[in-house]
Structure 1
Amino acid sequence: MGRLSKKIAVVTGAARGLGRGIAEKLCQEGAHVIIVDLNEEECQKVVAEFTEQDYQASAFPANIADHDEVSQLFTGLIQEFGTIDILVNNAGINRDVTLHKMSIEQWRQVIDVNLTGTFHCTQEAIKIMREKQYGRVISISSASWLGNFGQANYAASKAGVVGLTKTAARENATKGITCNAICPGFIDTDMTRGVPDKVWDQMVAKIPMGRAGSPSDVGNVVAFLASDEASYVTGEVINVGGGMVL
């Protein structure tokens, strides 16, 4: 029996990369994990792989930037599972370009998914959690929330996630709901593997521990925050970056 046995956990952006790693860790802890992502085929693929390992998982594709889709998503989840215990806001995109060259579309795309999408999911989940007087909301921000070259849109969205998290924590603390943010540093995922070798080496050189993180490094912290062991932890911003932010 894992720490999250019989819990229903929703993980957005869970079809690959960091989200998939987080979803796998929650499955290992005994949760029934809802795989949410844009691509239905990829969602089903992850569920099939998890099922082969005797994990409990279900696929619910959705565009979290669309309010109506998110509303329908949570309505469907309640109809099928009756409740939601854990929400992990992981879905995110980047459209990196320096501020003076950034188009309004590049700005809006990132804000719509990373920040507004997190708001949509958090709002729907909290409505359910307030009724049951229990819940865990964990939002993936980024070390870039402090500002990063070429990432005005991304940094703004991730700083917004921190503000949203702290506000949600204050508003819902008396309802048995904890809300925390995790700021991963440089994590080895499909996205980061796309950078040139020179950039990879430069990024790793900034990390005191001397290596890129893995999705499991982040997943371990998510699992703790989702558990009853973290029942007195709320409104926190936890860096998981090997000392990248000190």
Structure 2
Amino acid sequence: MTKVAIVTGAARGIGAAVARRLVADGFAVALLDLDEAGVKECAAAITADGGKAIGLGVDVSDTEQVEATVARIADELGPPVVLINNAGITRDNLLFKMTDGDWDSVIGVHLRGSFVMSRAAQKYMTQQKWGRIVNLSSTSALGNRGQANYSTAKAGLQGFTKTLAIELGKFGVTVNAIAPGFIATDMTAATAERLGVSFEDLKAGAAQAIPVGRVGEPEDIAHLVSYFVSEGAGFVSGQVVYAAGGPQD
């Protein structure tokens, strides 16, 4: 039977690349995003290429929406046994300028969203006695100017990952986190615009500080997800891997 995977934040960037890779690995994939049109378009492209995918609009921080959506996925595709918690937003600002809304929205999507999604999906994984959860953290978890909200959320996901690994291990479920460095996506392009520099200049500057001499691509993260959700990764759980082109402090 084809295994079913869920990828949040899958309308573009890392999430879309992960979804495509999982389909290539033989999974049926549910792509979730607040941008319903975006995930439907991405899912349609996967289906046109011979894969099995559906795109659904959902706010991952809304418990009722999440539970209804995960139940629908189980009905339409089968019990989801892989969950990639990738949905994320940024609301960057220095602490004295950061609003309550900036804080709450970022914490809500990253932390509450991953919690609500994992709680809904784990039921199917524990029933199947097999599952994989991969949470997307970030090098910003180590601290980054102007990102008190984002850094806190991404650091929190690492503690969340390790705790779920302890709780779910006996059910055959592994839980790991990936902490990307600079990845060329719409989100980093928006950062360049906010800073008033061209995206190419931002990428070139970032590459100079990265030991492998280039910025990351969404496919770099998709490859790592592919490993974590594989049968061969069954003895790897509770880990945080920094995918940043070099060592992180």
TM-score normalised by the chain length of structure 2: 0.94
Alignment partner, residue 214 of structure 1: 217
Residues 1:95 and 2:95 aligned together:
no
Q: How far did 1:88 drift?
A: 0.3
- SS of the residue corresponding to residue 115 of structure 1 reads helix
State which drifts further: 151-160 or 68-77.
68-77
Alignment partners' CA distance in 1, 2:235 and 2:64: 33
Does the aligned pair in 2 maintain the 1:206–1:244 contact within 8 Å?
A: no
Does the aligned pair in 2 maintain the 1:162–1:237 contact within 8 Å?
A: yes
Alignment partners' CA distance in 2, 1:200 and 1:239: 19
Alignment partners' CA distance in 2, 1:35 and 1:144: 25
Matches within 5 A, 1:125-136: 125-136=121-132
Give the share of equivalent positions with the same residue, in percent: 39
Q: How far did 1:29 drift?
A: 0.8
RMSD: 1.3
Does the aligned pair in 2 maintain the 1:74–1:125 contact within 8 Å?
A: yes
Residues 1:76 and 2:67 aligned together:
no
State which drifts further: 24-33 or 125-134.
125-134
Matches within 5 A, 1:96-115: 96-115=92-111
Unaligned runs of 5+ in 1: none
Residue 230 of structure 1 is aligned with which of 221, 233, 248?
Answer: 233
Unaligned runs of 5+ in 2: none
Matches within 5 A, 1:1-246: 6-194=2-190, 195=192, 196-197=197-198, 198-243=201-246, 245=248
Q: How far did 1:85 drift?
A: 1.3
TM-score normalised by the chain length of structure 1: 0.95
Q: How far did 1:149 drift?
A: 0.6
Q: Residue type of the partner of 2:207?
A: V
Does the aligned pair in 1 maintain the 2:85–2:134 contact within 8 Å?
A: yes
Alignment partners' CA distance in 2, 1:24 and 1:82: 18
Deviations 1:83-139 (A, max 9, x none): 111000000000010112100000001000011101110111112211221100001
